[in-house]
Amino acid sequence: MTSPSTRPRPRRRGRWLDLLLIAVILLLVGIAMFPFLWIVQMSLKTQLEAFTMPPKLIFLPTFENYVSLLQDNSFLHTFANSTLASTITVVLSMVIGVPAAYVLSRSQTKADSSIALWVLTTRMAPPIAFAIPFFLIFQKIGLIDTIQGLVLVYLTFNLSLVMWMMRTFFDGLPLSLEEAAWIDGANIPQTFLRIALPLSVPGLATTAIFCFLLAWNDFFFALILTRSATMTAPVGIVNFMNYEGWAWGKITAGSVLIMLPVVAFSLLVRKYLIRGLTAGAIKG
């Protein structure tokens, strides 16, 4: 960058720039995180404190909102539905999608473009365009307001993603171990179960978490395809807004509970998360 004789000066300037940069970054983090932190602190205040302006930044946190929420059977019910639908979706899409991804990876077929297209179309199509046919068919065959119906819809989105993410992961595994197993007389299912799967634990975990996020975060399909029996938490929380004004305490505490697994999981797999978030947009 500079000739050796002038080096010391730019270096000092560089240090100032670094400090300035860190200050700017921290400011940006503050701005970006403020809305998120705001709702968290609100959920820990009493209804009265939440309305107090200027807002108290130092306060004794209370869990009364959470307690009243956990005593609310209808909310617990929606939370259980969300957990059930998301878990079944994850299990099924992994059980079907992972072996399929392995076969695709090892058979060297050029199915790349068709999976990419599938990921892209399920991701791109406006949800309402899927919701109408699913709604009409589900009405005919009695799948409205059932966990099975919800899982079926989520599978269409998750299977493609599982195949896409796991295929790139399997492609990255060294073939030599599997070849050694074949020479020792193992067949393909054995190689898959004993060699490839144990080596792919990080990829499996990331993909599973990603599937969970997609199903858990869904609002639109749950809104249209469920009624009271299988209503999920994101739809259920909206109900707190309709009754006698707004139950701010319950709404904020409910929001925190709904986002808790998502935030926890994302931070857990943050390294791999980025690959999943941009799936279909960036290769590999």
Residue 194 CB, nearest approach to other proteins (Å): 25
Q: Which is nearer to other proteins, 115 or 195 (CB)?
A: 115
Considering only residues 178 through 237, tell me which ones interact with other proteins, judged by CB under 8 A: 213, 216-217, 219-220, 223-224, 234-235, 237
Give the Cα separation of 211 and 69 in Å (integer): 27
Q: At what angle do helices 8-43 and 248-268 cross, to 10 degrees?
A: 140
Considering only residues 56 through 115, tell me which ones interact with other proteins, judged by CB under 8 A: 100, 104, 111, 114-115
Residue 176 CB, nearest approach to other proteins (Å): 27
Considering only residues 237 through 266, tell me which ones interact with other proteins, judged by CB under 8 A: 237-238, 241, 246, 248, 251-252, 255, 258-259, 262-263, 266
Total site size for other proteins, rule CB under 8 A:
77
Q: Which is nearer to other proteins, 88 or 199 (CB)?
A: 88
Considering only residues 2 through 41, tell me which ones interact with other proteins, judged by CB under 8 A: 21-22, 24-25, 28-29, 32-33, 35-36, 38-39
Among the listed residues 137, 155, 54, the one whose alpha carbon sits nearest the alpha carbon of residue 95 = 155
Q: Which is nearer to other proteins, 192 or 240 (CB)?
A: 240
Q: Which is nearer to other proteins, 88 or 127 (CB)?
A: 127
Among the listed residues 276, 280, 268, 282, the one whose alpha carbon sits nearest the alpha carbon of residue 169 = 276
Interaction of residue 177 with other proteins, rule CB under 8 A? no
Residue 130 tokens, joined: 């899927």
Among the listed residues 65, 45, 47, 66, the one whose alpha carbon sits nearest the alpha carbon of residue 56 = 45
Give the Cα separation of 66 and 79 in Å (integer): 13
Element housing 90 (H / E): helix 73-106
Residue 33 CB, nearest approach to other proteins (Å): 6
Buried/exposed 100-122: b ≥16 CB within 10 Å, e otherwise: bbbbbbbeeeebeeebeebbeeb
Q: Which is nearer to other proteins, 179 or 189 (CB)?
A: 189
